[in-house]
């Protein structure tokens, strides 16, 4: 297990992505899975940065674990911001015309569709969002 602790600000998304991608390269992760993980990082970390501590900022942790059978990578995003379960929101209607869709929710929807497992819990004053991608 490897962890990165940093301030939850949008400017740190590249640092999180680089941290995770270095691990994915060591695992010889296929490019398609890596790109899907990169999108998930962008979406999930930006949500933490924009909403967890609004209007201020606070700490965040990104934990990376791997499994061998089946081969998978697990990313866990942890913050001490306001309790918020992004998985509780109803999925957007992607069949509706763009002008009729409500704002928000598409990024988390993409994460749910491209990851093999997504789990949220609020425990001990922390939001803990775990994603698993089989590689």
Digits of tens for pLDDT over the chain (135 positions)?
A: 999 999 999 999 999 999 999 999 999 999 999 999 999 999 999 999 999 999 999 999 999 999 988 999 999 999 999 999 988 877 655 555 656 555 555 678 899 999 999 999 999 999 999 999 999
Three-state secondary structure call for residue 33? helix
Distance, CA of 40 to CA of 49 (rounded, Å): 14
Instruction: Give the distance, in angstroms, between the CA of residue 53 and the centroid of all CA atoms in the same chain.
Output: 17
**What structural domains does the chain harbor?**
2-134 (3.30.565.10)
Three-state secondary structure call for residue 72? strand
How many CB atoms are closer than 10 A to CB 123? Answer: 8
The model carries a pTM of 0.89
């Amino acid at each position: 297990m490897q962890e990165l602790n940093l301030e939850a600000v949008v400017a740190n998304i590249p640092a999180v992505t680089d941290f995770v991608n270095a691990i994915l390269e060591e695992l010889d992760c296929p490019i398609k899975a890596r790109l899907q993980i990169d999108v998930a990082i962008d979406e999930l970390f930006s949500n933490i940065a924009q909403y967890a501590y609004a209007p201020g900022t606070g700490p965040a942790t990104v934990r990376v674990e791997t499994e061998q059978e089946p081969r998978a990578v697990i990313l866990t995003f942890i913050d001490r911001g306001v309790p918020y379960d992004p998985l509780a929101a109803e999925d957007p209607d992607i069949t509706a015309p763009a002008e009729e869709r409500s704002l928000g929710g598409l990024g988390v929807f993409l994460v749910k569709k491209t990851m093999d497992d997504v789990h949220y819990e609020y425990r001990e004053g922390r939001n803990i969002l775990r994603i698993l991608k089989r590689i």
